[in-house]
Amino acid sequence: MQSAVETVDKSSRSLNPEIQCVPEKRTENLLEIFKKMYKEIPITDTGICSVFRIAKFNPQSARLRSILVTLPSEPHRDNIISAVRRGNKNQLSSLTSAHLGIHGDAINIHVSQHLPPPHTKKIHAAARKVSKERDCKYTWLRFGRVHIIKDDTLTTVLIKELKDKLVQP
């Protein structure tokens, strides 16, 4: 039963990129912020279904609330995420709040898949921590699943649970 609920939850989030660390303003227009973002990265205009801020995972956290964008398909989401990553690698500076016309200190903007909380987010956080501790070269998400690879010569390890050997200290 739990697995079926997680599957439905994962598929309902599959169209949503999550934009993190965008400073909040009372009179902000999230649609305009998103449109400015895709002017900064090399993608074409997409059919945007909705744009809104989501509640914090931890209400006491100082981290800014994320922006969630619902797009018409998974390829649209993947194109946006990969365009931001390519742009961050190939440009002199990463995508920041200044690129979006937000005044104040330039804060780096991150774009990722919207993960079903809290289980997958906990697995991803634990995998990133272990990846740093064990000098793994890559940790990434694909289709809501967490992957780790030690170096380019080894195969990918899929992390399904917090109790997986690689995630355990």
This model's pTM is above 0.75 = no
Q: What is the pLDDT of residue 8?
A: 56
β-strand partners of 131: none
Token digits of residue 87: 């742009």
Q: What is the pLDDT of residue 67?
A: 92
Alpha carbon distance 120, 100 (integer Å): 29
Q: Per-residue pLDDT for 131 more than 80? A: yes
Q: What is the pLDDT of residue 100?
A: 86
Residue 39: alpha-carbon gap to chain centroid: 19
What is the mean predicted confidence (pLDDT) over 15-31? 89
Alpha carbon separation from 71 to 17, 94, 95 (Å, rounded):
8, 23, 20
Q: Return the sign of the alpha-carbon dihedral for residues 75, 91, 66, 56.
A: positive
Domains of the chain: 2-115 (3.30.70.1820), 120-159 (no CATH)
CA atoms within 13 A on the CB side of 72: 4
Q: Per-residue pLDDT for 127 more than 80? A: yes
- What is the DSSP-derived secondary structure letter of residue 44? -
Q: What is the pLDDT of residue 53?
A: 93
Q: What is the pLDDT of residue 52?
A: 92
Q: Per-residue pLDDT for 43 more than 70? A: no
Q: Per-residue pLDDT for 148 more than 90? A: no
Residues whose CB falls within 8 Å of the CB of residue 148, separated by 6 or more in sequence, listed in order: 127, 130, 131, 136, 138, 139, 156, 157, 159, 166
Alpha carbon separation from 51 to 29, 99, 119 (Å, rounded):
9, 19, 24
